[in-house]
Structure 1
Amino acid sequence: MQRNSQLEKLKTENFDICIIGAGASGAGVALDAILRGYSVAMIEKVDFSSETSSKSTKLIHGGVRYLEQAFKKLEPSSLKQVKHGLAERQYLLANAPHLAKPLGIITPVFSWIEGLYYTIGLKLYGLFAKNDHLPKAEWLSKSETLRLAPSLNPKINSGVIYYDGQLDDARYVMALVQAAHAKGTVVANYVEAQSFVKNEAGKLTELLVKDTVNNQSFAIKSKVFINCTGPFSDHIRLMANPAEETRIKPAKGVHIMLPKEFFDSEKAMLIPKTKDGRLVFVIPFKSEVMVGTTDTPYKNLEKEPLLIKEEVNFLLETLTPFLRKMPTEDDIKSGFGGVRPLLSAKTNNQNETKGLLRDHEVEIDEASGLISLLGGKWTTYRLMAEDTVNKVGAILKNNKESSTHFHKLWGAQNQQLNKESFLKSNSNIETETLEHLWSTYGDQATEVLKIAASDKALGEKIIEGYPYLKAEVTYGSRYEMVEKPRDYLARRIRVEILDWNLTKTMTPTVAQLIGTELEWTSEKIEKEKNEYESLIEGFISAKNKFE
């Protein structure tokens, strides 16, 4: 997946489908479309999964809150969302098992009445799941609950455990992008959509874009253009048709990262009641514990959403009744904010909408021909993509059905190699490093080790005491279109969302390794290093001002 050769194809080839946006939905559409025989291009303004898709709660789920709403408020749409999520959960778990796994989630309760209520609800939740063989919900005694999660407040009465899935969201998008690319999709990051070209009938024929790495503009020719830009969808919709009404209602959700000492368990925790009516999850993610999320309106899409004191206080206060030892702002190692693309119904020229839609919608603008995949959530990305490409099939007269249900993604395609055999065949390397490599790259971890073996220096760790190899940066720059230190540290190995201080320490070495592979000048290496260090310093400084 070499960027310069992909750019040349974007400039010179004609495509059936051009996808704008390479998060979960865009990459999902790309894989579905290429498997149906279309010629496909996909571009991303920044880096793959750089926005909403890398900033989720990292759960694969139907949504227990939606189930409660379906029965309490008699909302059939909420029940539909649960069914869709639970049906899709099995595919996400099966198609990239190195990146997705079942996760037990404990709901602590403080009375037997609460225990009975959540046991009934979570058992009902499990009844909607089929064919994924996850354990069913179970009411645990106090001693069983504390054995599984000893960091919980000993004042609890008992706990209810149920199972959903967990994924590394940014790596999952990368596996989708690489799987699509392996089948022939032409992909490139840092390519920004700027304007459309239309024919005499007003239909889209070309997309004018800018390669922001090389500062070059060019046109992409395609029969169909698909807008998969999440919270930025209205920008593309209005670019295609200025007469369209806006439909996206962005909402901000933040997460904080804490050391595992505060919740030392392989299980997660669900806090079912908060003062704003949301659920809060406490989830082990790699080396740390993630707590989230919040839900507030967010209007300034041009700025990256950051932590603010009120949101952090809300999350810490929510934890208070449930933990044996309470964290403070000083204990927060990092945090991140994402923007949900909540969707409003069309007004049909009336003054009020029907409210926010929790499910997705595939919209076709009759005037320009633009297709927009709107709304939805991570867990249903594959279904969203299937629905979108079905719409394309009606336009381009292709009746081939989707085949993504059990299509193994990049890193899970070598059926002769599994985690156990990988660990055994590389027993001369530290287990922690091997575990990290497998959970990041799957069967492609062998390619990282080949790079490490080719140069003794690349076989060294980036920072002693951590499992990350220098060879990974070279691999990312060579095969995963890493163009900046943040691409690697935030999205390829997730260190930025785990620990800001560690990220800052790793940045000089990472910038140098990327620069060596991409043949940067020493001035460019220094510039990229300084820019990213400054960004991380800003995150740390903002957090310190909370105190």
Structure 2
Amino acid sequence: MDRIESLERLRNEEFDICIIGAGASGAGCALDAVLRGYKVALIDRKDFASETSSRSTKLIHGGVRYLEQAFKKLDFAQLKQVRHGLEERHIVLKNAPHLARPLALMTPVNSWFEGLYFKIGLQMYDAFAINDTLPKSKWLNKTEVLAKIPTLDRKKLHSGVLYYDGQLDDARYCLALVQSASEKGAAVANYLDVHGFGKNGDGKLNEVTVTDTQSSNQFSIRSKMIINCTGPFSDKIRQLANQQLTERIRPSKGVHLVLPAETLNSEYAMLIPKTSDGRVVFAIPFEGATMIGTTDTDVDDMSTEASLNEREKHYLADTLNPYLAQKIDISQLKAGFGGLRPLLSADPLQSTKNLVRDHEVEVDSVSGLVSLLGGKWTTYRLMAKDTIDQADAIFFQTNACTTDQHMLAGGEHYNTEFWKELVEKFDFDEDISKHLVKKYGSRAGLVGELTSAEPALKERLVAKYPYIKAEVVYTVRNEMVITPRDFLARRTRLEITDWQETLNCLPVVTDLMARELEWDAEQKGMQAASYEMEIRTFISNAG
């Protein structure tokens, strides 16, 4: 992906569809639309997946909690959401095997009755997962549970119910969607902030006015249709197109706490079925750490980034502690992150935790703006399909959706043993080779080739992680990395797993980026200082 080339196209060409927002839903729409033959532009005011789509719990699932509520409340909307999620789960796993994989989750229980309750519930969950190859749930005895998660409190534990969902690297999965759309002909660019629209004589949108935040240059993108995929910020775009539209989105904040891997000391995740506010919480192994989340609180101010605070830190630790033999040492906090859910609600008084994560495609009859509202990561492809089906109807077209069969960038000819070839060819350590294959898939060798030409790029960014210097160079040249945070938060996931090591390797990353992007000393210093301030703010907020 070449940003300069994309900007040139966006300035000078007319598109059939311009999509605002390059998170999961926007990137999914771009890929679907370009595969149907449309000329597509995809833009975002920040980096790809920089908001909600990089801050999920990293699960591909139908939603165990939704299933429970569906039967308790006879809520068929919840049941439909579970069915859609489980139908899409196997497609998400299949289409990017390097970025998504099955994940075993344990639900520890304290009594025979609890075990029976969750076993029946999870058997029903299995039953909804048709055309699926994941193992079915099992009720395990105490000894079997402790063999899989040895840090649990054996005194309280009665047994556990094991079931399977999927796990993904959300930011890189979204990037793979963007790359795939780009390689099929879409013009894609990050850091383009929308601040207005042009309209034709009938009052329909036909231009998007943007500012390139990296250069401050303004220009307009001509397009026959505009699709709004900005998640929790959807109302801002809707009302920019038509001031008479009422708000539809109830943003909800969810945060995650990140602790050392030894907290669970397991490859198995945990579903914590009982919390003080009636939600479920997950404790999940991710990137060499244990991630605990998530919360659900109303958001009034979206002008500042959602982040972990001290109260939320203690709430999440206190939720997991009753299940552990050794209580969490909160001073071992490695990182934390927050995100906003784009929940749809007609009732401003309804609790966000009771809202269904469903989606809706809205067409504004006045401006012609198409908005994809609501939804969740697992169903991104279905959401995109519904949106581009609507675009087909507006354009009087009948094109087939083929995204269920489209292998994403890096997934082509993917081989789980490919890492061994990298060890042999480039003399990488085993952990580095495995990391590269999990992030770049069949394209990992392209990162390796950089080290052949420049052996110094083989060096690790920090000693305890498998990230290497070549990745900085590769992602700047091929994945439209513009800022150090693009690399450290989304191309790799170091920011959300280890704040201190992020700060430690920041000088190395900015040096390499400065070389690639031709920053002068002042620009390099500003980039490093700005990002360091952000990380230190997160640390301060967490207490």
Question: Which TM-score band applies after superposition, normalised by the shorter structure?
Answer: over 0.9
- What code does the residue aligned with 2:17 have? I
Q: How does 1:217-232 map to 2 (within 5 A)?
A: 217-232=218-233
Structure 2 SS opposite 1:221: strand
Structure 1 SS opposite 2:8: helix
Query: What residue number does 2:177 align with?
Result: 176
Q: How does 1:221-260 map to 2 (within 5 A)?
A: 221-260=222-261
Asked if 1:460 is matched to 2:454, the reply is: no
Structure 2 SS opposite 1:278: coil
Q: How does 1:91-102 map to 2 (within 5 A)?
A: 91-102=91-102
**Change over 3 Å in CA distance of 1:29–1:135 after alignment to 2:** same
Mapped partners of 2:301, 2:89: distance in 1: 32
Asked if 1:421 is matched to 2:418, the reply is: yes
Query: What residue number does 1:309 align with?
Result: 310
**Change over 3 Å in CA distance of 1:83–1:168 after alignment to 2:** same
Query: What residue number does 2:87 align with?
Result: 87
- What code does the residue aligned with 2:163 have? Y
Structure 2 SS opposite 1:419: coil
1:62–1:84 contact (8 Å) kept in structure 2: yes
Mapped partners of 1:47, 1:353: distance in 2: 31
- What code does the residue aligned with 2:324 have? L
Mapped partners of 2:512, 2:16: distance in 1: 37
Query: What residue number does 1:36 align with?
Result: 36
Please tell me the root mean square deviation across aligned C-alpha atoms, in Å.
1.5
- How far does residue 539 in structure 1 lie from its aligned partner after superposition? 1.7
Mapped partners of 2:267, 2:356: distance in 1: 34
Structure 2 SS opposite 1:11: helix
1:345–1:356 contact (8 Å) kept in structure 2: no
- How far does residue 2 in structure 1 lie from its aligned partner after superposition? 1.0
Q: Which structure 1 residue ranges, 4+ long, deviate > 4 Å from structure 2? A: 351-357
Query: What residue number does 2:283 align with?
Result: 282
Mapped partners of 1:20, 1:376: distance in 2: 16
- How far does residue 467 in structure 1 lie from its aligned partner after superposition? 1.2
1:476–1:488 contact (8 Å) kept in structure 2: yes
2:269–2:284 contact (8 Å) kept in structure 1: yes
Post-superposition CA distance 1:160-186 (Å, at most 9, x none): 000000000001001000001000010
1:66–1:81 contact (8 Å) kept in structure 2: yes
Structure 2 SS opposite 1:234: helix
Mapped partners of 2:498, 2:411: distance in 1: 28
Of the structure 1 ranges 76-85 and 328-337, higher mean CA displacement relative to structure 2 is found in 328-337
Query: What residue number does 1:20 align with?
Result: 20
Query: What residue number does 1:8 align with?
Result: 8
Query: What residue number does 1:338 align with?
Result: 339
Post-superposition CA distance 1:247-287 (Å, at most 9, x none): 10000000010001110111100001111111000000011
2:119–2:139 contact (8 Å) kept in structure 1: yes
- How far does residue 358 in structure 1 lie from its aligned partner after superposition? 2.8
- How far does residue 356 in structure 1 lie from its aligned partner after superposition? 4.2
- What code does the residue aligned with 1:446 have? G
Query: What residue number does 1:195 align with?
Result: 196
Query: What residue number does 1:119 align with?
Result: 119
Mapped partners of 1:9, 1:464: distance in 2: 42
1:77–1:358 contact (8 Å) kept in structure 2: no
Query: What residue number does 2:208 align with?
Result: 207
Query: What residue number does 2:404 align with?
Result: 405
2:473–2:513 contact (8 Å) kept in structure 1: yes
Asked if 1:51 is matched to 2:58, the reply is: no
- What code does the residue aligned with 1:426 have? V
Mapped partners of 1:217, 1:99: distance in 2: 36
Post-superposition CA distance 1:122-176 (Å, at most 9, x none): 0110000012211111100000000011011112000000000000000100100
- What code does the residue aligned with 2:92 have? L
- What code does the residue aligned with 2:462 have? I
Post-superposition CA distance 1:85-125 (Å, at most 9, x none): 00000000000011000001000000000000000000110
Query: What residue number does 1:300 align with?
Result: 301
- What code does the residue aligned with 2:418 have? S
- What code does the residue aligned with 1:384 have? M
- How far does residue 352 in structure 1 lie from its aligned partner after superposition? 10
1:346–1:353 contact (8 Å) kept in structure 2: no
Mapped partners of 2:487, 2:194: distance in 1: 23
- How far does residue 466 in structure 1 lie from its aligned partner after superposition? 2.3
Structure 2 SS opposite 1:491: helix
Mapped partners of 2:39, 2:420: distance in 1: 38
Q: How does 1:514-525 map to 2 (within 5 A)?
A: 514-525=513-524
Asked if 1:503 is matched to 2:502, the reply is: yes
Mapped partners of 1:165, 1:45: distance in 2: 30
- What code does the residue aligned with 1:27 have? A
Mapped partners of 2:467, 2:419: distance in 1: 17
Structure 1 SS opposite 2:254: strand
1:477–1:517 contact (8 Å) kept in structure 2: yes
Mapped partners of 1:291, 1:356: distance in 2: 22
Post-superposition CA distance 1:330-350 (Å, at most 9, x none): 111000001001002499xxx
Mapped partners of 2:321, 2:355: distance in 1: 32
Query: What residue number does 2:133 align with?
Result: 133
- How far does residue 29 in structure 1 lie from its aligned partner after superposition? 0.2
- How far does residue 357 in structure 1 lie from its aligned partner after superposition? 4.4
2:422–2:445 contact (8 Å) kept in structure 1: no
Mapped partners of 2:332, 2:53: distance in 1: 26
Mapped partners of 2:484, 2:249: distance in 1: 31
Mapped partners of 2:203, 2:282: distance in 1: 47
TM-score under structure 2 normalisation? 0.97
- What code does the residue aligned with 1:471 have? A
User: Where in structure 2 are there 5+ consecutive unaligned residues?
Assistant: none
1:247–1:346 contact (8 Å) kept in structure 2: no
Mapped partners of 2:418, 2:69: distance in 1: 45
**Change over 3 Å in CA distance of 1:239–1:346 after alignment to 2:** farther
- How far does residue 425 in structure 1 lie from its aligned partner after superposition? 4.9
Aligned residues: 539
Query: What residue number does 2:324 align with?
Result: 323
Query: What residue number does 2:382 align with?
Result: 383
- How far does residue 463 in structure 1 lie from its aligned partner after superposition? 2.1
Mapped partners of 1:243, 1:425: distance in 2: 57
1:95–1:412 contact (8 Å) kept in structure 2: yes
Post-superposition CA distance 1:270-329 (Å, at most 9, x none): 001111111000000011000000000011111001212221111111112101111132
Structure 1 SS opposite 2:322: coil
**Change over 3 Å in CA distance of 1:8–1:501 after alignment to 2:** same
Mapped partners of 2:59, 2:362: distance in 1: 27
Query: What residue number does 1:103 align with?
Result: 103
2:310–2:541 contact (8 Å) kept in structure 1: no
- What code does the residue aligned with 2:504 have? T
Mapped partners of 1:346, 1:403: distance in 2: 36
Post-superposition CA distance 1:58-88 (Å, at most 9, x none): 0000000000011000000000000000000
Mapped partners of 1:79, 1:478: distance in 2: 44
Query: What residue number does 2:60 align with?
Result: 60
